[in-house]
Amino acid sequence: MATDPTVFVRIGAAMAALLQADPPIAEGRVWRGRQSPIAQQTPSAVVIRIEKSAGQRADVADGPIDWATDYQIELYARVASGEPPEDTVDPLLREAFARLSGAGPALGLAVEDILLDPRIAWDYAEGSTPQVVATLSVRVIHRTKANGLDPWT
């Protein structure tokens, strides 16, 4: 039995579309939930992961559930020889932050806001094609129906 994806998956897809919109922020594609490494020939890419969700039921029968869902936006960049890793990933970080800031209502899906956590994790991978990853934490505030995981309408 095929079913529509939950609002959590749909919000991740909407954020991916926003980051892929012309011009896309990365030279590679934007993936959701990717677990395998980014190919060495890919100069830059984005991976969106759902981290966790917490809901609060309304105090009325059949009222909505208000959610705070945390996503991780991983921004990958290959480092050119002799370049500082931070300089390579910094344009991706700046553009992702700008596109997601205040974009909540534009996503639809009963999204009230996208809160960009003041938290960014940096990771570096050595090798023949060094890579740097900046992971931006994002909290999406949204609402679902009381009896399911579809957006509140």
- 29: which residues sit within 8 A by CB, 6+ positions away? 20, 45, 46
The pLDDT tens digits for 8-41 are 999 999 999 999 999 999 987 898 988 888 888 8
Q: Is the pLDDT of residue 118 over 80?
A: no
**Residue (of 16, 22, 39, 19) closest to 94 by Cα position:** 19
Q: What is the distance in angstroms between the CA of the first residue and the CA of the last residue of the chain?
A: 24
Q: Is the pLDDT of residue 121 over 80?
A: yes
- 4: which residues sit within 8 A by CB, 6+ positions away? 150
Provide the CB-side half-sphere exposure for 37 (13 A, CA).
9
Residue 1 is predicted with a pLDDT of 52
**Residue range 7-144 in CATH 3.30.2000.10:** yes
Contact present, 14 and 4 (Cβ < 8 Å): no
Tell me the C-alpha distance between 16 and 58, whole Å: 30
β pairing state of 30-32 and 44-57: parallel
**Residue (of 120, 116, 124) closest to 76 by Cα position:** 124
Span 86-93, mean pLDDT?
Answer: 94
DSSP assignments along 33-44, one per residue: S--SPPPTT--E
* Unique residue bearing structure tokens 């995981």: 149
Q: Where are the domains of the chain?
A: 7-144
Residue 38 is predicted with a pLDDT of 84
Tell me the C-alpha distance between 29 and 136, whole Å: 17
